[in-house]
Structure 1
């Protein structure tokens, strides 16, 4: 098995929304805001090469939305999914599986693209299976008013219509194995049945933390996004999760931290806190 971080593009979101009830005077120490109160975010994915399978975990915002839509998210930098795959020697047609932690547009928007004459949509990975789970799919395709703007029909329905959509067979809150060859933790605070991959690689466990812990600045327990549908559930899930990560010396892989890829955690008198920061290459390719 070989794993690669894949940068699909950077964007910005309102810092207050990203940190909920935490005051700006505190969260801005780790996530400084610009003049519009926007903070830097990444859409960083993982690519797993394992035998004949090439598995992409999440795929960013994509590029099919309107200029007006993207104007809300202040895209910046030069990263793109195709350029990142090409730099690794791959093409999107090589992808065999696309695992989606959840179906908010910044995690699955790259799944679907315009067709050639822009009269409709088609899968952006023509040879891949798209993996979600039944409970989250039902939640996303009949969205509540709070999340409706994040679950876009043009990202979801073409997956189903293509015949490429698959559902992970969920066994428990945490399943040590799955059809994809890695463990999955199911979390409900941010959205219904978000899936966090646990990948054993070169003797270490990497956890793709998606939106349970978006950035390093979100490690302290009360730092919960305003976007979460069940913030008290997030608190409960984070408490168990953070303690487990610190106890077992797991590595957290950040999808949304624009400036940090990996970290470890430690127990302190104030609770679980950041221990060390690493780039992927420092840990696995040095």
Structure 2
């Protein structure tokens, strides 16, 4: 395919998958349960954090997590007591357990009370064409208070060559306004042009078959290569193609 043919093909797939039907089978349905900005961004962050493995299991466990937070995640983050945190002990999703969830609640409280919230923190460290430096600094702030060492593994660091798939997916949810009701677009201080594609096994394999990616590993270097290719197709909204790559891989077995 020529570049124009590839763009036309992928644009058609974006239209096919970037619509409200996508929500029904995707973890993004969890933050769609809320209307308060802070509830959306906290529930989205926690859901994205456990978004690896079987999608049905992710959704089931994310719903359980919200129930443990009394379906008011922002209020729980701001006003929880130590006794409230004890109720989180039973939570588990793969290697993310109740201790990790309690630590995340404490760190989120720190971010909202000392750093003016998640959007402000990511915006503060963004570069003009990338949010990868923001993710690195976000992780530093997230763990600047006393914390469990084991919990650090649940936030990736792109400056250590991680593709940081889950947090890039979360940033897509918050920043990109797709006008179809899937991504939220509630972080107006950041631009979709700064976003990076959530790179995983599915999107990586499809990208390689389409000639968008040559590197074999799904790491930070591969993410930069894929970002460059997608920005050449649409510099203003490159991560819309995440819907095409994901849909082709998961739903079409491309």
TM-score bucket of the superposed structures, by smaller chain: 0.3 to 0.5
Larger RCO (CA under 8 A, 6+ residues apart): 2
**Structure (1 or 2) with the greater helix fraction:** 2
TM-score (norm 1): 0.31
Q: TM-score scaled to structure 2, two decimals? A: 0.34
